[in-house]
Amino acid sequence: MHEQYAALAELAGGFIHEIKNHLGTLGLNLQLLAEDFQDARDQRERRALARVHKLQAECQRLTDVANDFLRFARIKELPLAPAELGKVIEEMVDFFTPTAKAANIDIKTYLPADLPQVALHREMFEQALLNLMLNAEQAMPEGGSMTFQAATEAGDVVLSLIDTGTGIAPEVLPKIFEPFFSTKSGGSGLGLATTRKIVAAHNGGIDVQSEVGKGTKFTIRLPACVS
């Protein structure tokens, strides 16, 4: 079954890559067409330019979805190395702080200094964290707070990300990690699915708790490195 899934993922990846090539050609020609209409002389040409811009936006959205899918499909076994989880989180917070400030979001961290190391593929794990942080930001359109907490529990390192956002409806909660499921307009529905797949490739697990109107808590559990 695993081999069949891997073969299907590889086939789908090749198909999406081929589509991206055609989207690139389409995007280039739309750019040239937009330049032809840049100095629109009448209402008809202005309408044509507006339609070209709309097609460019749709073309970019398809490219973004294709990139999300390729990222999702290519997550397999990852080379892992011992890392300080606290340092990884601090770097991600520094990276995300300008975005958070613009959205009126306060980021807090409560990370014990004596956390044991965990085995990470840093680039992919940072992508998983970024997906969760973006998800939290989108859940707080009026601002709020985003809190990282970590602890050691039964040989695991447990990391939680808590937001004070709109929360997730009970009927939606069981579906949020499913590929292509999204309640957001224009979303690919692969962000949280990719996060779960990345965490699984780290021999870990992720779950979620949420209450509408109060916020959401994502919890990642990773095995601690044996010293």
Q: pLDDT tens digits, residue range 134-185?
A: 999 999 999 999 999 999 998 899 999 999 999 999 999 989 888 777 777 6
- State the amino acid at position 92 in one-letter form: M
Comparing CA positions, the residue from 163, 154, 158 lying closest to residue 212 is 163
pLDDT tens-place string over residues 81-122: 999 999 999 999 999 999 999 999 999 999 998 999 999 989
pTM, full prediction: 0.73
Nearest residue to 85 via CA among 204, 224, 226, 227: 224
CA distances to 7, 92, 96, 98, 136 from 109, rounded to whole Å, are: 41, 11, 13, 16, 15
Q: What is the pLDDT of residues 46-79, one digit of tens each?
A: 888 888 888 888 887 777 777 767 666 667 777 8
Look up the CATH number of domain 81-223: 3.30.565.10
Task: Give percent of the chain with pLDDT exceeding 90.
Answer: 46
Contact 188, 65 (CB under 8 A): yes
pLDDT: which is higher, 39 or 161: 161
Alpha helices in the chain (DSSP H): 2-36, 43-73, 85-102, 122-138, 191-201
Chain-centroid distance, C-alpha 64: 12
Residue 5 has pLDDT above 50, yes or no: no
Question: Residue 199 — very low, low, confident or very high, per pLDDT cuts 50/70/90?
Answer: very high
